[in-house]
Structure 1
Amino acid sequence: MQEKRNMRWVMKDADETRSQALAEELGVPVAVGRLLVQRNKVTVEEAQRFLYPDKHAFYDPFIMKDMGKAVERIRRAIKEREHIMVYGDYDADGATATSMLYLALKELGAHVEYYIPDRFAEGYGLNEAAIRMAKDQGFSLVITVDNGISANDEVRIASEIGLDLIITDHHTPPEQLPEAYAILNPKQPGCPYPDKMLAGVGVVFKLVHALFDRVPEEYFELAAIGTVADLAPLDDENRLLTVFGLEQLNQHPRAGIQALIDVSGLAGRKLTAGHIGFSLGPRINAAGRLDSATNAVELLITEDPLRAKELALFLEEQNRERREIGDVIFEEAVQEVEAHPEWLEARILVLASGHWNAGVIGIVASRLVERYYRPVLMISVTDGMGKGSARSIQGFHLYEALHACEDLLEHYGGHKMAAGFSVREEKIPLLRNRLQALAQEWLTEEDLIPQLSIDAQINLPDIDISLVEQIAALGPFGFGNPSPRFLMQALDLRGYRAVGKEQEHLQMTLGQGVAQIGCVAFQRGTEVEQVKECSQLDVVGELAINEWNGQKRLQLIVHDWRPSSVQVFDLRDRKDRVQWVEQMQRKRPLLLACFSEAAYHEAKRTFCLYPWEEQVPSLIVRVNENGTIEGAPEGHPADVVVYDLPYSLEQFQAFVSHLHNGVRLYMLQGEKEYQQALREANDWIPDRDAFAHVFRTLKRLEKATKEELLSAIHRTYAEHLEWMMQVFIELGFAYNHKNTYYVVKDAEKRSLTEAKSYRERLIRTERRKRVIEVIGHASREEMLAWLQEFCLRYREDFVS
Structure 2
Amino acid sequence: MIHKIIRRPTVDDSHLPTHLPPLLRQLYARRGVLPSECELVLKGLLRPDTMKGLDLAAKLIADAMQLDKSILIVGDFDADGATSTSVCILALRMMGASKVDYLIPNRFDYGYGLSPEIVAVAASKQAQLLITVDNGISSIEGVAAAKAFGMQVVITDHHLPGHELPKADAIVNPNQPGCQFASKSIAGVGVAFYLMTALRAELRARNWYQARGIAEPNLGTLLDIVALGTVADVVSLDTNNRILVEAGLQRVRSGRCRVGITALLEVAKRNPARIVASDFGFAVGPRLNAAGRLDEMALGVETLLCEDMMYARRMAAELDSLNQERRELEVGMQQEALKSLEYLKLNEEQLPWGIALFQEDWHQGVIGILASRIKDKYHRPVIAFADAGNGEIKGSARSIKGLHMRDLLELVNSRHPGLISKFGGHAMAAGLTLKSGGFATFAKAYDDAVREQLKPEQLTGELWSDGELTPTELTLEIAQLLRNAGPWGQSFEEPLFDGYFKIIQQRIVGDRHLKLVLETQCGTVMLDAIAFNVALHTWPDATIQHARIVYKLDVNEYRGNFTLQLMVEQIEPM
TM-score normalised over the length of structure 2: 0.89
* Cα-to-partner distance string for 1:256-293 (whole Å, 9 max, x where unaligned): 22222233233566222222112211111111111111
Q: Deviations over 1:542-581 (max 9, x none)?
A: 1234567887654433323446xxxxxxxxxxxxxxxxxx
Distance 1:356 1:529 in 2: 35
* Cα 1:425/1:209, change in 2 over 3 Å: same
Tell me the distance in 2 between the aligned counterparts of 1:502 and 1:136: 49
Other-structure match for 2:32? 40
Q: Contact between 2:262 and 2:272, CA under 8 Å: does it hold in 1? A: no
Q: How does 1:506-525 map to 2 (within 5 A)?
A: 506-513=515-522, 515-523=524-532, 524=534
One-letter amino acid matched to 1:413: G
In the alignment, is the contact (CA less than 8 A) between 1:116 and 1:294 conserved in 2?
yes
1:278 equivalent among 279, 282, 296: 282
Q: CA deviation at 1:395?
A: 2.7
Match of residue 391 from structure 1: 398
In structure 2, what is the equivalent of residue 67 of structure 1? 54
Note if contact 2:290-2:323 (Cα within 8 Å) is conserved in structure 1. yes
For 1:392-791, what aligned pairs fall within 5 Å after superposition? Answer: 392-406=399-413, 407=417, 408-489=419-500, 491=501, 493=502, 495-501=504-510, 504-513=513-522, 515-523=524-532, 524=534, 526-529=538-541, 532-534=544-546, 537-546=547-556, 554-562=564-572
The equivalent position to 1:99 in structure 2, one of 72, 78, 86, is: 86
Q: 1:167 aligns with which of 152, 155, 158?
A: 155
Partner of 1:56: 43
Q: Does structure 2 conserve the Cα–Cα contact (< 8 Å) formed by 1:102 and 1:114?
A: yes
Q: CA offset at residue 188 of structure 1?
A: 1.4
| CA–CA distance in structure 1, aligned partners of residues 512 and 382 of structure 2 | 31
The farther-off stretch of 422-431 and 87-96 is 422-431
CA distance in 2, matches of 1:433, 1:36: 43
For the residue of structure 2 that corresponds to 1:26, the secondary structure is: coil
Question: Which residue pairs with 1:317 in the alignment?
Answer: 321
What is the CA–CA distance in structure 2 between the aligned matches of 1:437 and 1:494, rounded to whole Å? Answer: 44
- Secondary structure of the 2:481 match is helix
Instruction: Provide the C-alpha distance between the structure 2 equivalents of 1:519 and 1:238, rounded to a whole number of angstroms.
Output: 33
Identify which range, 377-386 or 462-471, moves more after superposition: 462-471
Question: Are residues 554 and 155 of structure 1, via their aligned partners in 2, closer, same or farther at CA, if it must alter by over 3 Å?
Answer: same
1:219 aligns to 2:222 (yes or no): yes
**Kindly tell me: are residues 8 and 76 of structure 1, through their superposed partners in 2, closer, same or farther at Cα, counting changes over 3 Å?**
same
Structure with max Cα Rg:
1
**Equivalent position of 1:11 in the other structure:** 7
Answer yes or no: is 1:125 the counterpart of 2:113: yes
Q: For residue 242 of structure 1, what is the aligned residue in structure 2?
A: 245
Q: Which amino acid aligns with 1:322?
A: R
Residue type at the aligned position of 1:429 = A
- 1:774 aligned residue: none
CA distance in 2, matches of 1:431, 1:261: 41
User: Residue 74 of structure 1: CA displacement?
Assistant: 0.4
2:340 aligned partner, one-letter code = E
- Asked if 2 retains the 8 angstrom alpha-carbon contact of 1:256 and 1:309, the reply is yes
AA in 2 matched with 1:529: D
Residue identity in the other structure for 2:433: S
Report the Cα distance in structure 2 between the residues aligned to 1:283 and 1:556, rounded to whole angstroms. 26
Answer yes or no: is the 8 Å Cα contact 1:519–1:557 preserved in 2: no
**3-state SS, counterpart of residue 360 of structure 1:** helix
- Cα 1:313–1:501 change in 2 (3 A) is closer
- Give a deviation string over 1:304-332, Cα, whole Å, max 9, x none: 33332332222122112212222222222
Greater relative contact order structure (CA < 8 Å, 6+ sep): 2
Q: Percent identity?
A: 33
The residue type equivalent to 1:347 in the other structure is W
Is the contact made by 2:504 and 2:545 (CA closer than 8 Å) also made in structure 1? Answer: no
User: 2:139 & 2:560 partners in 1: Cα distance?
Assistant: 56
Partner of 1:326: 330
| Alpha carbons 2:249, 2:276 under 8 Å: kept | yes
Identify the range of structure 1 (539-548 vs 448-457) with the bigger mean alpha-carbon deviation. 539-548
Aligned residue identity for 1:477: W
Task: Determine the C-alpha separation between the residues in 2 that align with 1:387 and 1:117.
Answer: 16
Task: Return the TM-score normalized by structure 1.
Answer: 0.65
What is the distance in 1 between the residues matched to 2:227 and 2:401?
Answer: 26
Structure 1 residue matching 2:274: 3-state secondary structure: coil
In structure 1, which of residues 179, 183, 186 is the aligned counterpart of residue 167 of structure 2?
Answer: 179
**Where does structure 2 lack aligned partners over 5 or more consecutive residues?**
202-216
Aligned to 1:377: 383
Question: Aligned-pair distance for 1:386?
Answer: 1.0
Q: Report deviation, 1:512.
A: 4.6
User: Could you list the per-position Cα deviations for residues 599-626 of structure 1 after superposition, in whole angstroms to 9, with x for gaps in the alignment?
Assistant: xxxxxxxxxxxxxxxxxxxxxxxxxxxx
What SS does the corresponding residue of 1:354 show, helix, strand or coil?
coil
- Give 1:65 deviation, angstroms: 0.5
SS at match of 2:128: strand
1:399: how far off? 0.7
Matched letter for residue 85 of structure 2: T
Q: What's the secondary structure of 2:384's corresponding residue?
A: strand
Partner of 1:192: 180
Distance in 2, Cα, partners of 1:297 & 1:467: 38
Cα deviation, residue 514, structure 1: 6.8
1:153 corresponds to 2:141: yes
Partner of 1:82: 69
Partner of 2:235: 232
Task: Say if 2:79 and 2:229, in contact at 8 Å, map to a contact too.
Answer: yes
The question of whether the paired residues in 1 share the 8 Å contact of 2:468 and 2:499 is answered with yes
Residues 521 and 559 in structure 1, CA contact (< 8 A), matched pair in contact too: no
Distance 1:538 1:330, change over 3 A: closer
Distance 1:456 1:504, change over 3 A: closer
Per-residue Cα deviation, 1:345-366 (whole angstroms, up to 9, x for no partner): 2212211222221111111111
The aligned counterpart of 1:338 is 342
Contact 2:503 2:544 in 1 (8 A): no
> 1:499 Cα shift?
4.7
CA deviations on 1:502-524 (whole Å, 9 max, x unpaired) are 67414132225474140414144
**Residue 364 (structure 1) aligned with residue 370 (structure 2):** yes
Report the equivalent of 2:96. 109
Structure 2 letter corresponding to 1:401:
L
Distance in structure 1 (CA, Å) of the matches to 2:292 and 2:497: 38
